[in-house]
Amino acid sequence: MHLELTSFPLCPFVQRAVITLKEKGVPFSVRYIDLNAPPDWFLALSPMGKVPLLQVDGTVLFESAVINEFLDETHPPSMLPVAPLARARARAWIEFGSNLIGRQYQMLVAPEQEGFERQQAASKSELRFLEAALGAGPLFLGTGFSLVDAAYAPLFMRLRLLDAAHPTGLLDELPKTAAWAAALCARPAVQGSVPEGFETLFRERFRAAGGWVGQFL
């Protein structure tokens, strides 16, 4: 099976798929595009004009959660629980993580401090739900790496960069979430899931985006 991922270097949703591929040790190739000037071949292939795309022997898959479930089903052992209820719960928290990634992006590009703080407050409320959902750790479902972990690692990696520049306090008083974030950021597959120079690219992009927080990056 030939797997070709289409990526934008800073995209957290692409990173979810890369983490899953690396955790499973599955070979794949990547081609990067510039989302500010997407090539015609990409626009012709991507139904929503978004990355990630995963071409599987030429068939196009899109949506990070769908891509990750496909990778999981085709490369056992599974990173999702077997029992339907536990499986559905894991999927629900993956979707919740997508929403948090969206809020993080809104924090990074909010033109005014007030908009930044509004997203920060909303993120904090949502993270409290996550804290309540976490077990004994160190990972979301315990000791085994799951697709929930793959879904949140990009969020926490970016939060670290943001916190180093302008402390958000988002993980303060959320000890389980903070420990989970640290465990994810320490994993080799997570560290190896971004292209070289990622931190610099991240800072440059969001400085250039003109958001209020960009001045600290």
Ligand X SMILES: N[C@@H](CCC(=O)N[C@@H](CS)C(=O)NCC(=O)O)C(=O)O
Contact set with ligand X (CB under 6 A): 8, 11-13, 35, 49-52, 63-65, 98
Q: Which is nearer to ligand X, 28 or 137 (CB)?
A: 28
- Name the CA dihedral angle for 51, 185, 171, 118, rounded to a multiple of 10 degrees: -20
Q: How far is the CB of 132 from ligand X (least distance, A)?
A: 24
Q: How far is the CB of 54 from ligand X (least distance, A)?
A: 10
Count of C-beta atoms within a 10 Å radius of residue 64: 27
Q: How far is the CB of 137 from ligand X (least distance, A)?
A: 25
* 49 dihedral zone (left: phi>0; alpha: psi -120 to 50; beta): left
Q: Give strand pairing partners of 3.
A: 56
Instruction: Please report, for residues 79, 82, 115, 165, 204, the alpha-carbon distance to residue 149 in angstroms, rounded to integers and kept in the order given.
Output: 9, 16, 28, 24, 27
Q: Which is nearer to ligand X, 55 or 98 (CB)?
A: 98
Q: How far is the CB of 16 from ligand X (least distance, A)?
A: 7
Q: Which is nearer to ligand X, 63 or 199 (CB)?
A: 63
Q: Which is nearer to ligand X, 20 or 64 (CB)?
A: 64
Q: How far apart are CA 102 and CA 75, in angstroms?
A: 29
**DSSP H or E segment with residue 6:** strand 3-7
CB-side exposure of 185: number of CA atoms within 13 Å?
13
Q: Which is nearer to ligand X, 12 or 81 (CB)?
A: 12
Q: Which is nearer to ligand X, 13 or 180 (CB)?
A: 13
Q: Is 29 helix (H, G, I), strand (E, B) or coil?
A: strand
Q: How far is the CB of 180 from ligand X (least distance, A)?
A: 20
DSSP letter string over 133-155? H--S-SBTTBSS--HHHHHHHHH
Q: How far is the CB of 143 from ligand X (least distance, A)?
A: 26
